[in-house]
Structure 1
Amino acid sequence: MRYAVPVAVAGVAAATISLVPALADSGNPNLPKITAEQLLTKIAASDTQTLSGSVKITTDLGLPSFLGGVTGGGSPFAGGGGGDSGKGQKGGGSAADPKAQLTQLLAGSHTLHVAADGPDKQRVSIVEKAAEYSLIHNADQVWAYDSQSNQAYHSTGPKSDGTDHAKQLPKGFPATPQAAAQQALKAMGTSTNVSVDGTAKVAGRDAYQLLVQPKGGDSTVGAIRVAVDSSTGVPLKFTLTPKSGGKAAIDIGFTKVDFGKPSAGTFEFTPPKGAKVTEDTAAGKAGDKAGAKAAPGDKAAGHDGLNSLEGLNVLGTDWNSVAEIKAPKGALPGSGSGSQSEPGGRMNKNVQGLIDSFGHKVTGKFGSGTVFSTRLVNALVTDNGTVYVGAVNQDALIKAANAAAK
């Protein structure tokens, strides 16, 4: 589940969190009529490069209650070590590591302060009652700081050539709203209904509401609403509702927004005195390798960049896409001699019982495995350690696993 849920959310809503959208005000402004095609063109043509503001993000994937307060350090979703356990010098053990911190956005409500000045400068701060976590990208430098633990994380990426900025960012770091929206539009194929569904007032600005709905199929996505600023074409609010109904699974939106240029100091960072700094010395090399594997325009760079993840293959297209992840030996319970297994790779009975309580066994040509379900994301973890995950129903996961087993 540590691998399945973060990757699934990235695959289903890669542009969702990256859009950094907004909380709607009351009111329906009277705006000129516009077609869906014209609104899509307006989004794609938006040239807004600067913004700052406050964002509220609420995520309700239907995770078990004891996992509702997802945090970096002790969470099964965390990619990093978190807490004071970090003695590694490559980012994995730092409480400030983005892989450990950003996963908290997978559950509950959070307030973010965001700023952007073109593709080379962005800042996101997650504001909690007694602490703040900030992630700052400035050219080839990435800094992250966790005030609660007084730990900082530093990464140096490849120098910008003016064409590919994504390689400089850790996975999940927001780029410009325009780039994220354009990426989302590319993911929409013939299996999608797109329409304009009225207007709204968002963060004090007039906006059109774009309604995106999958046409049948196996997707668990019911509808996506994107509030688009009527003046700039910038997405201001993103709401994703599951096919099963109920409240939104993902709701992200500006409560305040300003399209002026943020001050240069917004993107500067110096670790506070006494802060423990973890240097990610492997970041630049990893970025170069990723760029070599998938050059700009390469087919492998599609599927929202998921194919750049080691051991991952994306099956299917559009809304019915399923990510196949061949997890490292021992990374998943029962897939090898991990810390949760007994000698010989057998599952510890207590761990197996916990896993079984959240899923149910299925079989097929792939062998046997366990299906874990949420309101939006479903995952099949096979007994040989392969994970199939996506915003699709159980039958689609089994079908994908069977096809891959041929």
Structure 2
Amino acid sequence: MAPYESESAGRRKATRYVVPVAVVGVAAATIGLVPALADSGNPDLPKLSAQQLIEKIAKSDVQRMSGTVKISTDLGLPSLGGMAGGFTPGAGGSSDGADGKAGSSADPQSKLMELASGTHTLRVATDGPDRHKLSVLDNAAEYSVIHNGDEVWAYDSASNEAYHSKDAAAAGDRAEKHSKGETPKGVPATPKELADEVLKASGKTTSISVEGTSRVAGRDAYKLLVKPKQAGSTVGGITVSVDAKTGVPLKFTLTPAGGGKAVVDAGFTKVDFAKPAASTFDFTPPKGTKVTEGDDLKAQDKSHAPKDLPKDLPKDLPKGMPKELKDAQGGGMDDMKVIGEGWTSIAELKLPGGQGLPTGGSGSGDVPPEAQKFMDALGDHVTGKFGSGTVFSTRLVNALITDDGKVYAGAVTKDALVKAANAAQ
């Protein structure tokens, strides 16, 4: 789907317990990498090396396709139930805007977080760089995100709410670069360059190989296996099934180092490479729909930003981050360091205010009871040279939050996090 941005005036409260939410967010982002489904049969295809298969993926110029995708995700998280809306910014319409009004239940930023657990069926369609549609199907409802040119619509049939945003400048920039065949600076421009870069990176920390063939959504495919060479990663391996004819990835399965069923198994049950009908990307809100304008929410956020700001704010703020937000959060991600490399790399950063997580005790009220229950279910108290802290665990991403407000996070084991925290002292 097309990139989508949304801001919430409740972000400052959310930073108090952002790390557990971020753990779920990483999983949601992982789901979006490539689609997948179970194999059926092993077709007899010409032999290809890993480099040849990577080149085949890079050469793929498919821009029009549609199909049905099934996604199953098992991060080992406790059931979210209705809790996500209690502490995820914008979730379930519970997020307050700058004027105290509730946000939209159709906001994609929070709605698509539901893909981070359970099994879901989706319909997808794409026609070039500026037309995409994704629909999440439920037993009695449907949620869709439609990107058509410079407009993005999201509609939740269960609540009869819609979310709308326009970004004409970004759409024009995408179209211009696409028409010129431009690629971002530093990105390999040819299939051979891409393959060389991937294989060069794999030499030290990663093993890449072709592990036979499969049938996915009725199509012949090669299986590309990517595995860490390093010990300490929670990732066991990643298998990508690549369409033998078009080079399009049809299947993505991520298995954990600890064994058991896949953490992510997502993919096509049906796929069609014909041009979708233009009407696929048309959307008009049904009569009576509550429409939230995302641009209006952004304007409200800016109007409620702190007025008395220091005059000597740093000039090298992350691109797109308002200075007001930077000041309010006390530095945030600018303090992040990366420990190690490859699959066992660990991000180290500081929580705003330099303090550990608040509690949901009867006197504090800093954390909603539902959120505290979720955090307690994930948390595991640990100690070391660094002092003490809590490790929040999933089957894929783990995060250590120390009592003095430092965070160590990565797709690594709990022992690796504690070791990194000790070494940082």
* TMscore range, shorter length: 0.7 to 0.9
For residues 73-222 of structure 1, the aligned pairs below 5 Å read 73-74=85-86, 76=87, 78-83=88-93, 93-157=103-167, 158-160=169-171, 161-162=173-174, 190-222=204-236
User: C-alpha separation between the residues in 2 aligned to 1:349 and 1:81?
Assistant: 16
User: C-alpha separation between the residues in 1 aligned to 2:101 and 2:349?
Assistant: 23
For residues 198-277 of structure 1, the aligned pairs below 5 Å read 198-277=212-291
Q: Kindly tell me: are residues 384 and 92 of structure 1, through their superposed partners in 2, closer, same or farther at Cα, counting changes over 3 Å?
A: farther
Q: Kindly tell me: are residues 357 and 21 of structure 1, through their superposed partners in 2, closer, same or farther at Cα, counting changes over 3 Å?
A: closer
Number of the residue aligned with 1:171: none
Deviations 1:350-386 (A, max 9, x none): 9868744542222345432101222222121222444
User: C-alpha separation between the residues in 2 aligned to 1:330 and 1:92?
Assistant: 30
Number of the residue aligned with 2:416: 396
Residues 1:47 and 2:61 aligned together: yes
Number of aligned residue pairs = 365
User: C-alpha separation between the residues in 2 aligned to 1:39 and 1:261?
Assistant: 25
Residues 379 and 387 of structure 1 are in contact (CA less than 8 Å); yes or no, is this contact kept in structure 2? Answer: yes
Deviations 1:58-103 (A, max 9, x none): 0011112x33x578534x5x33141467566799721111122111
User: C-alpha separation between the residues in 1 aligned to 2:163 and 2:353?
Assistant: 28
Identical-residue share of aligned pairs (%): 55
Can you give the 5+ residue segments of structure 2 that lack an aligned partner in the other structure?
1-15, 179-190, 302-315, 321-331
Q: Kindly tell me: are residues 153 and 349 of structure 1, through their superposed partners in 2, closer, same or farther at Cα, counting changes over 3 Å?
A: closer
Residues 22 and 56 of structure 1 are in contact (CA less than 8 Å); yes or no, is this contact kept in structure 2? Answer: yes
Residues 323 and 389 of structure 1 are in contact (CA less than 8 Å); yes or no, is this contact kept in structure 2? Answer: yes
Q: Kindly tell me: are residues 29 and 351 of structure 1, through their superposed partners in 2, closer, same or farther at Cα, counting changes over 3 Å?
A: closer
Can you give the 5+ residue segments of structure 1 that lack an aligned partner in the other structure?
166-177, 296-307
Q: TM-score, normalised by structure 1?
A: 0.77
Residues 342 and 348 of structure 1 are in contact (CA less than 8 Å); yes or no, is this contact kept in structure 2? Answer: no
User: C-alpha separation between the residues in 2 aligned to 1:376 and 1:233?
Assistant: 28
Residues 202 and 208 of structure 2 are in contact (CA less than 8 Å); yes or no, is this contact kept in structure 1? Answer: no
User: C-alpha separation between the residues in 1 aligned to 2:377 and 2:102?
Assistant: 30
Residues 73 and 95 of structure 1 are in contact (CA less than 8 Å); yes or no, is this contact kept in structure 2? Answer: no
3-state secondary structure, aligned to 1:190: helix
Residues 6 and 103 of structure 1 are in contact (CA less than 8 Å); yes or no, is this contact kept in structure 2? Answer: no
Residues 1:361 and 2:381 aligned together: yes
Amino acid at match of 2:417: L
Q: Kindly tell me: are residues 357 and 98 of structure 1, through their superposed partners in 2, closer, same or farther at Cα, counting changes over 3 Å?
A: closer
Number of the residue aligned with 1:3: 18
3-state secondary structure, aligned to 1:40: helix
Q: Kindly tell me: are residues 119 and 318 of structure 1, through their superposed partners in 2, closer, same or farther at Cα, counting changes over 3 Å?
A: farther
Residues 71 and 104 of structure 1 are in contact (CA less than 8 Å); yes or no, is this contact kept in structure 2? Answer: no
Number of the residue aligned with 2:188: none
Q: TM-score, normalised by structure 2?
A: 0.74
Residues 1:373 and 2:387 aligned together: no
3-state secondary structure, aligned to 2:204: coil
Number of the residue aligned with 2:77: 63
3-state secondary structure, aligned to 2:382: strand
Deviations 1:198-231 (A, max 9, x none): 1111001100011111003221000111000001
Amino acid at match of 1:143: W
Q: Hey, which of these two has a bigger chunk of helix by percent?
A: 2
Residues 74 and 118 of structure 2 are in contact (CA less than 8 Å); yes or no, is this contact kept in structure 1? Answer: yes
User: Of 33, 50, 56, which aligns to 2:47?
Assistant: 33
Deviations 1:263-295 (A, max 9, x none): 222222222211111122266999xxxx98459
Q: Compare 100-109 and 343-352 and name the one that shifted more.
A: 343-352
Amino acid at match of 1:4: V
How well do the aligned residues superpose, as a CA RMSD in angstroms?
3.9
Residues 188 and 318 of structure 1 are in contact (CA less than 8 Å); yes or no, is this contact kept in structure 2? Answer: no
Higher Cα Rg, which structure: 2
User: C-alpha separation between the residues in 1 aligned to 2:280 and 2:356?
Assistant: 40
Residues 1:317 and 2:317 aligned together: no
Q: Kindly tell me: are residues 199 and 124 of structure 1, through their superposed partners in 2, closer, same or farther at Cα, counting changes over 3 Å?
A: same
User: C-alpha separation between the residues in 1 aligned to 2:91 and 2:389?
Assistant: 27
Amino acid at match of 1:207: A
User: C-alpha separation between the residues in 2 aligned to 1:164 and 1:91?
Assistant: 39
